[in-house]
Amino acid sequence: MANIKLRVTGMTCGHCQAKVEKALKGVTGVYSAIVDLPDGEAEIDFNDDQVTTEQLLTAAGFDKKVADTPERLAHLERLTPARKLVAHRRDGKLYYVYADPEMCKCLYVGTATQYRIALEKRMANEELVAMQEHQEDDALLWALWAPWPWPR
């Protein structure tokens, strides 16, 4: 299980907060989502057993920016939270940033659309793994209902 904290902008009331929470909880693989209106943050717990965040971000089209200078590496190591997706606004646009100062010494940067694609890829992978894990069990259970399909 993984946890991501995202900055959520544009919420002005409890109704906004409830809509954001409902949307997050509706995503397959999300166990919980708590949206904090005053702080403008959403904390999300989700299943990450099969795909690393880095693989997911790359597959979704996030740009990987390597800390290839001492200045970039020093900045990367100061970024918090490390290894968490964080929403940032730059030039009026929303971006998602994932800092990894330990493994790849890099920064992943993606748009809101790429973030949505990353979530969709994570969901598709989880569904495939669940199907593969239960294939043999399902075959045995469905044999109880033989003949299959039922004659008409």
pLDDT tens digits for range 36-87: 989 888 787 777 664 467 765 765 667 889 999 999 999 988 887 778 888 8
**Same domain (yes/no): 60, 96:** yes
**Same domain (yes/no): 82, 134:** yes
Q: What is the pTM of this model?
A: 0.50
Domain of 130 in residue numbering reads as 49-144
22 CB contacts (<8 Å, ≥6 apart)?
A: none
Query: Domain total for the chain?
Result: 2
Distance CA 80, CA 39 (A): 16
Half-sphere exposure of 44 (CA within 13 A, CB side): 25
- Find where tokens 């399909």 sit: 149
**Same domain (yes/no): 6, 39:** yes
43 CB contacts (<8 Å, ≥6 apart)?
A: 3, 4, 5, 33, 34, 36
- Answer with the residue of higher pLDDT: 95 or 7: 95
Task: Say if CB 70 and CB 85 are below 8 A apart.
Answer: no
**Same domain (yes/no): 123, 62:** yes
> What pLDDT is stored for residue 62 in this prediction?
78
Please, what sign has the CA dihedral across residues 36, 9, 117, 77?
A: negative
**Same domain (yes/no): 100, 135:** yes
**Same domain (yes/no): 39, 106:** no
- Find where tokens 């964080």 sit: 86
